[in-house]
Amino acid sequence: MVVTEPDGRLEVRLGGQLYLAHRYARAAANHALRKYQLDLRHLGVLGYLAEDGPTSQRMLVDRLQMDKSSMVYVIDELERQGLADRRKDERDRRSYAVHITAKGRERLAAAMETTGDAMAELLVPFSVAEQRHLHELLARFIQHAEQLS
């Protein structure tokens, strides 16, 4: 069943709201991350490496849905800062795996704390129960969107 409103389709309005919510959340997070010389792309790569271990650039591109040239820039920057490094992949010596460094893990922990504070500020209008519900709704939305692509 499609829900509509007198001034237009609700689905279109929701799309616009998701877009604006994304823009505000991204801007707040990136502003908070400046002091760490990071942005959300860097945080995404470091977070993935910390959770899943060494990974090829190709896999990072696929998992984080980032274009190849942006991924190269992000990994180059992480290497420049000593937060990650590329090493020959032990399973395939023709390719490289990206590894998070100890310094990268430390920076990730601090950056996650700061980003969490920035997001908490944006979520002030919601109760804890509403925040959980929003999280569940967005997780379902993302899961469905992934299945469509």
Whether 76 maps to a domain, the answer reads yes
Total number of residues shown for the chain? 149
Whether 3 maps to a domain, the answer reads no
Question: pLDDT for 52-88, tens place per residue?
Answer: 999 999 999 999 999 999 999 999 999 999 999 999 8
Strand, helix or coil at 120? helix
Q: Which domain holds residue 130?
A: 8-148
How many domains does the chain fold into?
1
Strand ordering across the sheet containing 55-56: 55-56, 96-100, 84-88
* pLDDT reading at 2 higher than 60: no
Whether 2 maps to a domain, the answer reads no
Whether 116 maps to a domain, the answer reads yes
Q: 1 falls in which pLDDT band (50, 70, 90)?
A: very low
Of residues 63 and 8, more confidence is placed in 63
Whether 78 maps to a domain, the answer reads yes
Residues 26 and 15: their CA atoms lie apart, in Å, by 16
Whether 32 maps to a domain, the answer reads yes
Whether 104 maps to a domain, the answer reads yes
- DSSP strand E in the chain: where? 4-5, 8-9, 55-56, 84-88, 96-100
Whether 1 maps to a domain, the answer reads no
- CATH code for the domain in which residue 49 is found: 1.10.10.10
